[in-house]
A and B are shown apart, each in its own frame.
With several copies, the nearest count.
Chain A
Amino acid sequence: MTTKNLLQAIGEGLAEEMRSDETVMVLGEDVGRAGGVFRVTQGLMDEFGPFRVMDTPLAESLIAGAAIGLSVNGMRPVAEIQFADFIPPAFDQIVNEAARFHYRSNGAWSCPMTIRVPYGAVPGGALYHSQSVEAWFCNTPGLKVVAPTFPADAKGMIKSAIRDPNPVLFLEHKRTYRLIKEDVPEEDYSVPLGKARVHRGGTDLTVVSYGLMLHTALEVARKISNEYDIEVEVVEPRTLYPLDKETILDSVKKTGKLLVISEANLTGSFSGEIAAIVAREAFEWLDGPVMRLGAPDVPAAAFAKPMLDFFVPSAEKIEAAMLELARY
């Protein structure tokens, strides 16, 4: 057991799966020689060679499409889309194709493939290296969308994703890559897809969050526990789609209040789905409005730091929202 950050944990999970299953391979732009623009795949090409760790042309539809073709011919590809912002050209291959092979062939074919997608706002990233793209994919039956936040979870979940017989979109918030380290087991283990995690028990309100926002939410939750004796239960979905609604509903039925926090521009974000489920299925337990906090409805984070900081929900805004709801 050593401490690792998110980036290292994912890289280690990849390497272990590649060692234990020779059909596992990695493909994407700059994943080989360069080890990925974020260095997640560093060292893999040296160990596994230029086919199992393949630098592809700059063509996202090809990357996703080739991964499909590999997956139906005996391989377990892990494709990398360099930045979430560049996934749109692969949209067709992911939502219309990979997600439907199983259904449309009545179960004859399926696509065991993983697509890693670094997302989220970072300083200097601006409009096209910042987006939270989960809403685009969480209306696609046949696809799984996961977004672990903590290193140990991520390592266990990249393994589950690779072993899953379905296409899995694996979202990694770029700003959390090096944000924290934690103990990550060395032995083989996996963390199941489709299970939420309760980070912190609480009675006053439920917060659902993931990615960078989860870290901020946990911080603020500790702070207002100390300062105001308000106890926030923090739930991390880990898998967004299909969603573990039971864990969320159980929590809300206990606390009576829900605040969903994500970094996506609010309207039409996946937070709406979570809010809608709770407004329907935990209505009788609700002691306050179902609240959401997200980025403003603008195309994405701007380059200039002041505008970026204005875009990403801050600890202050999160604290204000928690207090408002707790005191409702």
Chain B
Amino acid sequence: MDLKGARTGHGSVGLESDDLLRMYRCMLLARKVDERSWILNRQGKAAFVISCQGQEAAQVGTAYNLRPGHDYVYPYYRDSGITLLLGQTARGQFLSLLGKKEDPNSAGRQMPGHYSSRELNIVTASAPVGVQYPQATGSALAFKMRGEDGVVLACGGEASTSGGDCHEAMNFAGIHDLPVVFLIENNAYAISVPEKMQVAGSIYKRAEGYGFPGVEVDGNDVLAVYEAARDAFERARRGEGPTLIEARTYRMTAHSSDDDDRRYREREEIEGWRQKDPIIRFEKYLEEAGLLDDESKEEIAASIKDEVDEASEYAEQAPYADPEEAVERVYAEG
């Protein structure tokens, strides 16, 4: 079947073996944090889970081009692969999952997956789909006005292109050649709605209508994504303007822990995509390249397991914010 490794060679895209192992570890960490989250959900400890599973390559491949705390990032709710790579921690993810006071994103105010970090320039995300795109263009414009080389990454699912905000942002980015990269993680569904009921024509082709490049990439091939994103970020840093990347991938879980996807998709389809699991594919590539063997694989897995164990236990023990905290920090002072 489709269980092939990455097609792009890492040498050709300028990545060292250290880079590859960092990427691999981050993808696996994101996956394992997510798997544990579902367990906590089934145990009745986590009210709500929304997953990155299947999209780790698209996320890590892209984010590996970012300079944390320098570039601006507007992630969407599945992008834990991105935020972990930038510097958020497994502990932070579980604190957020459980809505604890130390949740780095919102101190328990927002649902899990609504990332935020002032230090990492991860701009506070919300639930309304698509709102991040105009905001991202504004941040990009600020960089451009100040003559800085910062770039902005804005991410969303394929359905986030259906709303007006996405279009308004792409048009504006095109007019001013703004340093922004739009990453569309096309995972074939918006909750139950399949792509063909969501997207007329093709997402990446729309970029041409705005006068900038749009590229389609195998979103399960982390090196292919890395390469496409690298070109896009370089272009942006050179002042040449935006790029739209459509990473074709698949949502391997239900939409969220509130969803039952048996209502609207076949098990076979999911099985088919399991064969293309981006983590397995990358493992295969690394093995073939002689960068990973059974031993090192197990070592990484074990260290991740420890990290996940420690993190989820910490989060379970951590306290909630006081109820009265609900009325604090409505307005900024000063």
Contacts and interface: CB of A to CB of B under 8 A. Distances in A.
A212 to B, nearest CB: 17
B10 interface: no
Contact of A58 (B116, B162, B326, B334): B162
A59 B128 CA distance: 11
B291 interface: no
A62 B163 CA distance: 8
A297 to B, nearest CB: 7
B109 A302 contact: yes
B134 A66 contact: yes
Contacts of A318: none
A57 B198 contact: yes
A69 B139 contact: yes
Interface of A: 25, 29-30, 32-35, 37, 51-52, 55-62, 64-75, 77, 85-86, 88-89, 92-93, 96-97, 100-110, 112, 123-129, 141-142, 144, 165-166, 296-299, 302-311
Given A30-B192, A30-B193, A128-B127, A58 B332 contact: no
Q: Is the interface of B mostly helix, strand, loop or mixed?
A: loop
11 contacts: A29-B190, A29-B193, A62-B165, A69-B138, A72-B139, A126-B109, A166-B331, A303-B112, A305-B99, A307-B326, A309-B323
Interface string B299-310: 000000000000
A71 B117 CA distance: 16
Contacts of A73: 72, 138-139, 142-143, 150
B100, B127, B171, B258: which has the most chain A beta carbons within 10 Å? B127
Max chain B C-beta neighbours (<10 A), residue from A37, A110, A307:
A307
Given A59-B171, A310-B324, A303 B135 contact: no
B222 interface: no
Interface of B: 47-48, 72, 99-100, 105-112, 114, 116-118, 123-124, 126-131, 133-146, 150, 152, 159-160, 162-165, 168-169, 171-172, 175, 190-193, 197-199, 258-259, 263-264, 320-327, 329-334
A127 to B, nearest CB: 6
A304 B162 contact: no
A66 B135 contact: yes
B126 A127 contact: yes
Central interface residue in B190, B321, B330, by most chain A CB within 10 Å:
B330
- B128, B145, B324, B326 — most chain A CB neighbours (10 Å): B326
Given A57-B172, A58-B163, A72-B123, A37 B145 contact: no
B106 A303 contact: yes
A69 B191 contact: no
B154 to A, nearest CB: 9
Nearest to B127: A128
Nearest to B324: A310
A123 B48 CA distance: 10
A298 B326 contact: yes
B137 A62 contact: yes
Contacts of A85: 127-128
Contact of A52 (B108, B124, B130, B145): B145
B137 A69 contact: yes
Contacts of A166: 331-332
Contacts of A128: 111, 126-128
B329 A306 contact: no
Contact of A298 (B117, B144, B327): B327
B138 A108 contact: no
B193 A59 contact: no
